[in-house]
A and B are shown apart, each in its own frame.
Chain A
């Protein structure tokens, strides 16, 4: 059963399996294990970023394509839902229209970029995606009558998914069974299905072909695979999944703006998550996204506590002051890339 869900792609390492099970269970029961608005929000973001990072891994880790347009596709999905909810009102029909529209636009744009520029050398493709993504971000911030510009869009979502909606009048483990909980499980289940879907794709004959293209595109072509079609298909698939992740984010935070979906910072975060987790493994996305989002969310408060605790000592309180959290995040990355060049997954697998 589990083997079928994972498409036969076992973690192949006891510690890795353990870590993955802990993450999956923690996310599955997050509302009950970690009550509170902030922790639930963190859990939902982790779910969304696992999908986003996994879809990027399909491109970078499995096909060997470097793209800087992944946040653009993420943003297209988010804006699809945001625009549709703003225009059509808070209904599930609006969500459906937004999801389908956003995904279709993302797929079509990826197809165009792929066919036009995947023939050229990898570095040019990276540059083209960078240019298109920057142009798109500028466009979104300029077309403020439609997109809300830099302020973004705030909209209502169906009442069933808001805290105002009570599903049951009772509490389970002291947690209110409300619309917010439903929204979390919508995000969780969608993310789970998308992740398992990606896992299936990378273990399909198509996924094996992508690895061949990554390893030796020249030879893949010489045994009869049209490399350009495979690269383009991977780009389109990965863009569609990124758009779906964007749609989930739009539903979850009820706001869509350039800073939450389109910024280059998020693109770099995605890259780091893939590399830290381990490229070309899919499971790396789970670990990378979890570690990164936890650090991003809790490092500051952790450091605040450390500053208080070390208040008596010289120098140390200054070093661990909360406003230096970015520096420590940087140190963490350097250390992790140095000690885990194949990512956390690669490291755990090589240990057995």
Chain B
């Protein structure tokens, strides 16, 4: 099949799914595609800063408008707006800087933006990274096995681990607990967010792999980071590298005075907070301060634990979107710890002993498998066994169905 026909079919499928899921968002994504496509073609021949600024502003204004409205009103945000907006901004800047040639084929360019698996939770793809993969993909049997493995692994993370942890966290939030409960929920939230987000990304990467498209990894075992800085290099890599390339470096990054460098870090993390939403600004600021402080010990293990704890504490702003409430809850860890209450109430947080056991075993299994890399180098027969085993494990031990509210992927709301 000619590649343009294949790309057109994928594009039409993506558009159909998009319309089915969020038809009201179609006008915004089409606006982004059309304006970016036209501006990029002009930028190819005429390097106009004004035109670049207009292109960026059109997309940014739409994004920020929704981020603002959502603070006051419950509205449906266009599907994938946070992700495709960053993609088109990066694209325009790169074309302006002559990093690569603009895409002349409107079908291919639309597919780059409309590629539906990435619109839910990312990753944010750079055009030059994905171009060859996306437009010249070929379905191969090996990729089908690898992709299916990845999808099953993502479902395992989401339904067996993340959904179980969310029961505990929801119970702590609903019962308005404070002190040690908050520390416990924050520590769990890191694992929750990781398994939820990276589980979703695994599914996206798996689907893409099956279509013959290899996307860039978005996580690199971040929970084993030895410093906050390392953590942010390994967590949500697509966003971190976008911020580095399009915010931090344009601010002159670390090629300036030490104080300016620290301010640049703070600004970068504030933008990261802003991307998540206005009420995540304090969270972004907090992470920026932690990166600047770069607290470390001489022990590797202690550093891993310290990084995990510090990163975890700030997730309180994700658990409690109201900043004042989040600060109150965080303070209660230091003023009203009450560990005894947590211990005595451990089995009343929504999980039975057997479910805690499943959670622990599944988490250990997750880390063992992840150590071996995202795509295992084993025979297809062994992969088939792994796929079957994972499907059965997810079916039996997954948290889903009547009586359970499977939460949507956390990062699908950003």
Are A and B part of the same complex?
no
Interface residues in chain A, defined as those with a beta carbon under 8 Å from any beta carbon in chain B = none
